[in-house]
Structure 1
Amino acid sequence: MKRAWLALAAALVLGAAATVYMTHTAASTPAAPPTSLRGGQLYFRDGGGQVASVSPADPDGSRQRSGLRCDRFAAAWPTAVCLTADVTNGLPATTAVILDRDLRETRRLQLAGIPSRASVSPSGRMVAWTVFVTGDSYSQGGFSTWTGILDTRTGYVVTNIENIHLYLNGGRHHAADVNYWGVTFADDDTTFYATVSTRGATYLVRGDYARWEARAVLAGVECPSLSPDATRVAYKKPASGRVPWRLAVLDLRTLRSVDLAEPQGVDDQAIWLDTRTVAYARDGDVYALAADGTGAPRVLVRDATSPTPPLIPR
């Protein structure tokens, strides 16, 4: 009982930390890193946590290192987000730094919790992140997540989207245990997909940022990633035995899924290299794999995590 009260108190303090320490600073420009975002490049974190890039056509070629260190990184031209673990008043915290095409800081957000996921909409306008506020793994019971969205054009930020109007089974759903994670955006900067958990079940939801609502699409879909043509979602699904997660791709029109040819467990939010290929981190390397269930995984970039889709200047 004492442990339960301590956990509850910690969660309450974490919530207060996110509210009190959420800041927006027109921070002074830090020293410029040695590189900027470059079109056509695949960005990732190397083994030391530094953001680097390679050409997708020559992933074994020389790496361009940025000098920027992150625990989670995401980018889409001309915006990037860097999440780093921190401590605030003795509690786990996350610093989210928004960066422009020259990797110069434009905004800094102080959040509660541990960095988990990050994404940027294809236009670079919308930025999303997920942090753990209790626990440190999806596989552990009792975890809680906070997912936020920032509109870089208006400057408006929502630190936790749990109050978005949620519809399950055709009706409005209200529950105290609603958790969102793994946002992925469409081209229109208002449509997004994410995972929601409530009452012991997880669902893929289609969100509408402008209408501030999210509607369940299918149960059992976690960490979605929308394809460039917006017709499919790559995701991870619970498995059994020694492998807790499997990768699959869902056709959003038919709601039929195909399991991908990855025999190992993958606890990552995949990205799309193109309309036929996904990439993801596993065992310290980034792999590429056909999105139709054929073939076999191949190492794309060694000693790497947190890959981004190849940047397309607009």
Structure 2
Amino acid sequence: MTADRTGTTRLLILLLATAVLATVAVVSVVRAADRADERSRARPGEPQARPGTVSLLQPDRLLFRNLAWGPERDRIASVPLDAPAGARTAAGQDCLRFHASAAGTGICLRRKGGVVPGHEAVVLDARLRPVRTFPVPGTPTRARVSPSGRLVAWTVFVSGDSYASGTFSTRTAIHDTATGTLVPNLEALTVLVDGRRHRATDHNFWGVTFAADDNRFYATLATGGRTYLVEGDLRSRTVRTLRENAECPSLSPDGTRIAYKKRVPGLPADAPWRLHVLDLRTGTDTPLAERASVDDQALWYDAHTLVYALPGDFGADLWSVRADGVGRPRLLLKSATSPAVLATSSAS
């Protein structure tokens, strides 16, 4: 009798476990269907995107991650540079972070499925088709392609979720598409602070922007509670500090100015930044007319204008402001982020 009761108990436990798993599976499917249905519904007042062909070789286009609700949300979309509020054409490529060069190379940081979900960096060709994929150890936050399309860079958070928290850790990589070389972590490079070699366990890099020579780059270095604008040299595998209190640099098309965000005393701890432009030849530092705290790596829309993301009703909107400190910001594109300018003067 004991053996019979034991067998019956085991059978009941097995049946109960099977029922629980089946219930969980049904709930997951229903929730996934609800999310898919919600994604497929456009919301009033939002721009609409239609599926179509998007190419990096189409001139005078603005590409971006589309945040307008509907079936094309999170996909890379394209609009004319001179009519950004016009009809959006969306490619079949979902990205969390994106950038591209008019030379025909793109970089897409996206989620990956599988038994253990995660993220990956995907190098794209001119038709936005995957060329090479790299696993990344954290949450995507920054991506850049050099003007020639040869170099791509990406940054992920390894822990923490905000630059303002002071508790984050990053990994920044640079890949050479011509040689196949990968620098998986800029922390492996030699760091020179004020001309002297600096060794520390808390080096964190983010926000790469490339010069036109496919060797020099600029980025942010955080160490010892300070942030620095650094200039890197891939051939010599060194980075040197240029100035303090500079984050998320973006090099101008002519290579003479850097847009960046600067912590300003007196601003709230959760919104501490103001956009500035540094003239590399004269050292002149110009605060821009945008008064909002910009937690983004601004992009040069042209030689005189910057574009950047600010929080919006459906995630983020793209705004623009003059790079000389005058004028006022203007809304460029609703429900969009991660822009890439495809023009002959495109910047990195």
TM-score for both structures, normalised by structure 1: 0.86
Q: Residue 184 of structure 1: SS of its match in structure 2?
A: strand
- Of the candidates 60, 66, 69, which is equivalent to residue 40 of structure 1? 60
TM-score for both structures, normalised by structure 2: 0.78
- Do 2:220 and 2:249's aligned partners in 1 also have CA atoms closer than 8 Å? yes
Partners of 1:311 and 1:114 lie apart in 2 by 29
Structure 2 residue 162 is the aligned partner of structure 1 residue 137: yes
Q: Which residue of 2 aligns with 1:85?
A: 111
Alpha-carbon offset, residue 60 of structure 1: 1.4
Q: Once the two structures are superposed, what CA deviation does each residue of 1:22-69 show, in whole Å capped at 9, x if it has no partner?
A: xxxxxxxxxxx7332222211111112111011111111111211211
Q: Once the two structures are superposed, what CA deviation does each residue of 1:141-166 show, in whole Å capped at 9, x if it has no partner?
A: 22100000000000111111101111
Q: Residue 341 of structure 2: SS of its match in structure 1?
A: coil
Partners of 2:54 and 2:228 lie apart in 1 by 39
Alpha-carbon offset, residue 241 of structure 1: 2.9
- Any stretches of 5+ residues in structure 1 without a counterpart? 1-32
- Of the candidates 191, 212, 223, which is equivalent to residue 198 of structure 1? 223
Structure 2 residue 303 is the aligned partner of structure 1 residue 275: yes
- Summarize the alignment of residues 39-188 of structure 1 with structure 2, pairs less than 5 Å apart: 39-47=59-67, 48-76=73-101, 77-86=103-112, 93-188=118-213
Provide the identity percentage: 49
Q: Residue 187 of structure 2: SS of its match in structure 1?
A: helix
Q: Once the two structures are superposed, what CA deviation does each residue of 1:73-101 show, in whole Å capped at 9, x if it has no partner?
A: 000021001101347875x7321111110
Structure with larger Rg: 2
Q: Aligned letter for 1:269?
A: Q
Q: Which residue of 2 aligns with 1:285?
A: 317
Q: Once the two structures are superposed, what CA deviation does each residue of 1:224-275 show, in whole Å capped at 9, x if it has no partner?
A: 0000011110001113333321111011122221110011111000000111
Q: Residue 295 of structure 1: SS of its match in structure 2?
A: coil
Structure 2 residue 242 is the aligned partner of structure 1 residue 217: yes
Q: Which residue of 1 aligns with 2:291?
A: 263
Q: Once the two structures are superposed, what CA deviation does each residue of 1:109-147 show, in whole Å capped at 9, x if it has no partner?
A: 111100000000000000000000010111112210000
CA pair 54-158 structure 1, distance change in 2 beyond 3 A? same
- Any stretches of 5+ residues in structure 2 without a counterpart? 1-51, 68-72
Q: Which residue of 2 aligns with 1:302?
A: 334
- Do 1:75 and 1:311's aligned partners in 2 also have CA atoms closer than 8 Å? no
Q: Which moved more, 1:297-306 or 1:117-126?
A: 297-306
CA pair 120-231 structure 1, distance change in 2 beyond 3 A? same
- Do 1:54 and 1:61's aligned partners in 2 also have CA atoms closer than 8 Å? yes
Partners of 1:311 and 1:115 lie apart in 2 by 26
Q: Which residue of 2 aligns with 1:246?
A: 274
Partners of 1:130 and 1:301 lie apart in 2 by 25
Q: Residue 196 of structure 1: SS of its match in structure 2?
A: strand
Partners of 1:164 and 1:87 lie apart in 2 by 32
Partners of 1:34 and 1:292 lie apart in 2 by 36
Q: Once the two structures are superposed, what CA deviation does each residue of 1:142-201 show, in whole Å capped at 9, x if it has no partner?
A: 210000000000011111110111111111111111010000001100010000011111
- Do 1:180 and 1:197's aligned partners in 2 also have CA atoms closer than 8 Å? yes
Q: Which residue of 1 aligns with 2:16?
A: none
Bigger fraction of residues in helix: 2
Partners of 1:222 and 1:309 lie apart in 2 by 21
Partners of 1:196 and 1:39 lie apart in 2 by 34
Partners of 1:236 and 1:310 lie apart in 2 by 24
CA pair 308-236 structure 1, distance change in 2 beyond 3 A? same
Partners of 2:137 and 2:171 lie apart in 1 by 9
Partners of 1:272 and 1:313 lie apart in 2 by 9
CA pair 88-174 structure 1, distance change in 2 beyond 3 A? farther
Give the aligned CA root-mean-square deviation in angstroms.
Answer: 1.8
